[in-house]
Amino acid sequence: MSFTVKLDGDVVSVEPGRSATLTIEVRRAAPKAEPLSADAEPEVFELSQEGLDPEWVAIPVPTFQLGDDEPTTVRMVVTPPRTSESFAGSYPFVVRVRSLATGEARTCQAMLEVAPFHHLSADIEPKRGTVSPTRRTDAFELTLANLGNTEQTLVLGYSDPEDECVLSFETDQVVLGPGQQKRIPFEAGLRRTPAFGGVQLFAFSVTARSVSQPAVACSAQAQLERRPLVSTAGLVALFLLVLLGSAWWALRPREPQARVTLESASIVRDSPLVVQWRLDSADSLKIAVGDEERVVMQPIGTTQFFPKESGVVVAIPYRGSLQGPRVELPFSVEEPPAVPKPKIEEFSIEPTTVGLGQPLAVRYRASNAARLTLSPPGMDLNPSVPEVEIKPERTGTIEYTLVAINEKGATDRKTVKVTVVDVSQAKIVAFAANPEKLTEGPGVVRLEWQLTNAVRAELVYNGTRQKLEPTEGTLEVELQKTTTFRLVAYDSDGKTVEKTITVTVVEPKPPAEVPLENL
Whether residue 185 is preceded by a cis peptide bond, meaning omega within 30 degrees of 0, is no
pLDDT value of residue 32:
45
C-alpha dihedral sign at 275, 278, 279, 283: positive
Model pLDDT for residues 283-307, shown as the tens digit of each residue = 999 999 988 999 998 999 999 999 9
Q: Work out the average pLDDT over 415-432.
A: 86
Long-range contacts of 161-166 (CB under 8 A, 24+ apart): 161/203, 162/202, 164/190, 164/191, 164/192, 164/202, 165/189, 165/190, 165/191, 165/202, 165/204, 165/224, 166/190, 166/191
Q: Is the pLDDT of residue 275 over 90?
A: yes
Of 186, 184, 142, the residue nearest 165 (C-alpha): 186
Measured between alpha carbons, how far is 67 from 60 in angstroms, rounded to an integer? 20
Measured between alpha carbons, how far is 406 from 369 in angstroms, rounded to an integer? 5
Query: In which residue ranges of the chain is CATH 2.60.40.2310 found?
Result: 120-226
pLDDT value of residue 474:
92
- Among the residue ranges 7-21, 29-43, 266-280, 495-509, the one predicted with the least confidence is 29-43
C-alpha dihedral, 113 to 114 to 116 to 122, nearest 10°: -160
Measured between alpha carbons, how far is 488 from 451 in angstroms, rounded to an integer? 10
What architecture does CATH give domain 257-332?
A: Sandwich (2.60)
Measured between alpha carbons, how far is 56 from 16 in angstroms, rounded to an integer? 10
C-alpha dihedral sign at 409, 410, 412, 418: positive
Model pLDDT for residues 323-347, shown as the tens digit of each residue = 889 999 999 998 887 778 899 889 9
Contact 469, 476 (CB under 8 A): no
pLDDT value of residue 69:
64
Mean pLDDT across the chain, nearest whole number? 86
Model pLDDT for residues 199-221, shown as the tens digit of each residue = 888 899 999 999 988 889 999 99
Q: Is the pLDDT of residue 432 over 90?
A: yes
Q: Is the pLDDT of residue 77 over 90?
A: yes
Q: Is the pLDDT of residue 511 over 70?
A: no
- Among the residue ranges 104-118, 230-244, 303-317, 472-486, the one predicted with the least confidence is 230-244
pLDDT value of residue 33:
38
Q: Work out the average pLDDT over 417-432.
A: 85
pLDDT value of residue 259:
92
Residues composing the chain = 519
Residue 14 identity: V
The β-bridge relationship of strands 105-114 and 89-99 is antiparallel
Q: Work out the average pLDDT over 19-40.
A: 69
Model pLDDT for residues 174-183, shown as the tens digit of each residue = 999 898 899 9
Q: Work out the average pLDDT over 30-49.
A: 66
What architecture does CATH give domain 2-114?
A: Sandwich (2.60)
Residues 6 or more apart whose CB falls under 8 angstroms from that of 184 comprise 141, 142, 143, 144, 156, 169, 170, 171, 174
Q: Which residue has the higher pLDDT, 232 or 168?
A: 168
pLDDT value of residue 16:
92
Confidence bin at 315 (pLDDT 50/70/90): very high
Q: Is the pLDDT of residue 517 over 70?
A: no
For every residue of 20-73, DSSP letters joined together read: EEEEEEEEEE--TTSPPPTTPPPEEEEEEEESS-GGGEE-S-SEEEE-SSS-EE
CATH level 3 topology of 343-421: Immunoglobulin-like (2.60.40)
pLDDT value of residue 357:
74
Q: Is the pLDDT of residue 374 over 60?
A: yes
Residue 484: left if φ>0, alpha if ψ -120 to 50, beta else—which one? beta
Contact 446, 474 (CB under 8 A): yes
Secondary structure in 3-state letters for 429-480: EEEEEECCEECCCCEEEEEEEEEECCCEEEEEECCEEEEECCCEEEEEEEEC
Reported CATH class of domain 120-226: mainly beta
Q: Which residue has the higher pLDDT, 170 or 38?
A: 170
C-alpha dihedral sign at 177, 181, 186, 190: positive
Q: Is the pLDDT of residue 18 over 70?
A: yes
Q: Work out the average pLDDT over 393-419.
A: 88
With a pLDDT cut of 90, the percent of the chain lying above it is: 33
Residues 6 or more apart whose CB falls under 8 angstroms from that of 249 comprise none
35-to-5, 29, 38, 68, 102 alpha-carbon distances in Å? 20, 10, 9, 11, 19
Contact 114, 86 (CB under 8 A): yes
Q: Work out the average pLDDT over 490-503.
A: 88
Model pLDDT for residues 253-263, shown as the tens digit of each residue = 778 889 999 99
Query: In which residue ranges of the chain is CATH 2.60.40.10 found?
Result: 257-332, 343-421, 427-505
Chosen CATH of 427-505 out of 3.40.50.10420, 3.30.413.10, 2.60.40.10, 3.90.1150.10: 2.60.40.10
